[in-house]
Structure 1
Amino acid sequence: MLVSVTGGTGFVGSHSVAAFLRAGHRVRLLVREPSGVDRALAPFRLGRDAVEVVVGDVLDVEAVSRAVRGADAVLHAASVYSFDSRRYASMRRTNERGTEVVLEAAREAGADPIVHVSSVAALFPARGRVVREDTPVGRPRETYMASKAAAEAVARRHQAEGAPVVITYPPALLGPHDPKLGDQTARLRDVLRGLMPMWPLGGLPLGDVRDTAALHAALLASRGNASNRYFGPGHYLSTRQYVQAVREVTGRPLPTIFLPARAMIPVGLLAGLAQRVWPWHIPAEYGAVYICACATRVDENADTHGIVPRPVAETVGDTVRWLRGQGHLSARQAGVAGEDLSPVTAS
């Protein structure tokens, strides 16, 4: 099967591409920077010669059409995932308009399935205490989440029209081999660098990127027989449980103050305004506080295509080991998790 992939040089995309190739599929990538292909695939012992490359952007209708032409299936994983206020304009364009362009082109090309990588955050704030496949699209007051909700609405419209669009809802993801050191991985690094001694109360859904990649590969194997919405395997953790998991994995005390999330929202808003003019990243982000305030659990019966999430300790431990191995953390910062520098498994 030929699978066209957008976002293939990102965290979810690169792991999914590796899973597709291991399953024997051929892969074509739509990329803005061809130089990023080798960097993204090298940890999986793959090179640029393992995939076909089309140069272009998801906002470029012609480039997208070339990328999906003749494809049996499409994985749309391209998005801007960040709570950084400096990236608000690009995430609005890429996440909503890019989804419109890619899904329309994939339908015209006759691809089946067309997998749209959404986010569980697209369903927040939820009306009930859990989210499930029929939970309405969220109406969040945060730019990244709002952009994913808008993209979710696009994907659901295609589903309502009978298109073979499958939506996946990954939780916040950690794991090794993050080619662009994305938001969640960088946040864990900042925790261990002592830059986040204050956390909002609340919680977050957390999963392993390798499990979400396995879900995407499984969806290709069930072509024509898949349902149309799946949750990425994961766990719901309170922020206290998250910090405690990092303490246990690293053996470090990590003194932390927990404050009500809604009381911290004004701090996040001020930090976002300052970030627009301050050149260095400010760890206190409105979006991160907001999601802790409104995140709810995924229904335990929600469909994950039978994939069981790996333990949180394994995910956090492998991420810390990878950060240490890449030089993003010192030996002291990584604690006992950084003592084993053997390669972290990519599957």
Structure 2
Amino acid sequence: MLVCVTGGTGFVGAHSVAALLRAGCQVRLLVRDKAAVGPALRPLGVEPDEVEICAGDICDEPAVSAAVRGADAVLHAASVYSFDSRRAAEMRRVNLLGTETVLDAALRADVGRIVYVSSIVAMYPAANRVLDARTPVGRPRDVYMATKAAADEVARGYQEVAAPVFITYPPALLGPHDPHRGDQTSRLRYALRGLTPIWPTGGFPVGDVRDTAELHAAVITEPRPESDRLFGPGRHLTTRQYMRTVRRVTGRRLPSAHLPGKAMLPLGRMVDGLQKAWPWHIPAEYGAIYTCACDCRVAADAPTQGVAARPVEETFTDTVRWLHAGGQLTDRQAGAALAGRD
């Protein structure tokens, strides 16, 4: 089976490529920069010559059409995941226009199975704060979340006309080997460096990127997916539980204060406005606060294609060890997570 993957040099995409290869698939990547393939895949045990590489942008229809031609399946994992207000235009272009371009090209090429990687936040805010395959697309007030919701509507529109489109909803993802040290990895690093001592109350589902990658491989390769809307395995953590988990795996005290999430939303708006003029990233974005204030969880019986979530302590420990090994955390910051390292 030949699978065309977009976003294969990103966090979810790279791990999904490795999982697809382990499942016996051939993989073709559509990437903007061929030089990024090696750094993203080699840490996962994949050499660039193990995949076919096409250069192109996901918003360029001819490039996308060429990449999906002849593929048995498409995994559309390309996305800009950021709560940084400075990237709003980029998110609107990539997350919405890119999804429209890829799904349209895949359907015109008569691809047998198309998997779009959405996000749980596309359903935020949910009326009962519980998400499952029947939850409607939300109307979130953050730019990133709104672009994912709009793209989700595009994918669901194809489902309504019986197109072979499947949607996955990953939670907030951690794990080793994040090629771009994305939002969640950076948030954990900020916490370990003592830069985020104040947290909103509420919480969010957290999962391991390796489990979501296994979900993608299963949805693409197994004959009968459990549902046309599936959830990346994970567990809901309140922000207090999140910090307690960080303390357990590092053995550090890491004091934190927790203020009402809704009360912190004006602060998030102010930070977003300031961020547009401030050259360095401020780790207190409106979207992150809003996510916690919405405090949604995934239903216990939500479809995951039989992929179970690994223990959150394992995920946090492996992420901290990887950050330390890359020189992004000191011995003191990583703490007890370094015990038993190779």
TM-score for the superposition, normalised by structure 1: 0.97
* Contact 1:79-1:91 at 8 Å conserved across structures: yes
Partner of 2:134: 134
Partner of 1:251: 251
Q: Secondary structure at the match of 1:277?
A: coil
CA shift in 2, pair 1:339/1:225, >3 Å: closer
- The aligned amino acid for 1:34 is K
- Aligned-partner Cα distance in 2 for 1:38–1:225: 31
1:85-104 pair list within 5 angstroms = 85-104=85-104
Q: Secondary structure at the match of 2:274?
A: helix
Superposed CA offset, 1:244-285 (max 9, x none): 000000000000010001111111111111111111111111
Partner of 1:24: 24
Q: Secondary structure at the match of 1:194?
A: coil
1:174-213 pair list within 5 angstroms = 174-213=174-213
For the pair 1:67 / 2:67, whether they are aligned, the reply is: yes
Superposed CA offset, 1:8-32 (max 9, x none): 0000000000001111111000001
1:106-125 pair list within 5 angstroms = 106-125=106-125
* Contact 2:6-2:75 at 8 Å conserved across structures: yes
* Contact 2:233-2:307 at 8 Å conserved across structures: yes
Structure 1: gaps spanning 5 or more residues = 343-347
- Aligned-partner Cα distance in 1 for 2:43–2:36: 13
Runs of 4+ in 1 over 2 A off after TM superposition: 223-227, 338-342
- Aligned-partner Cα distance in 1 for 2:38–2:129: 43
- Aligned-partner Cα distance in 2 for 1:221–1:84: 35
* Contact 2:226-2:303 at 8 Å conserved across structures: no
TM-score for the superposition, normalised by structure 2: 0.98
- The aligned amino acid for 1:122 is A
Partner of 2:38: 38
For the pair 1:324 / 2:324, whether they are aligned, the reply is: yes
Partner of 1:55: 55
* Contact 2:201-2:238 at 8 Å conserved across structures: yes
- Pairwise CA distance, 1:226: 4.8
Aligned Cα root-mean-square deviation (Å):
0.9
- Aligned-partner Cα distance in 1 for 2:264–2:23: 45
Q: Secondary structure at the match of 2:82?
A: coil
1:293-332 pair list within 5 angstroms = 293-332=293-332
* Contact 1:215-1:304 at 8 Å conserved across structures: yes
- Aligned-partner Cα distance in 1 for 2:89–2:301: 36
- The aligned amino acid for 1:285 is E
- Pairwise CA distance, 1:225: 4.9
Q: Secondary structure at the match of 2:323?
A: helix
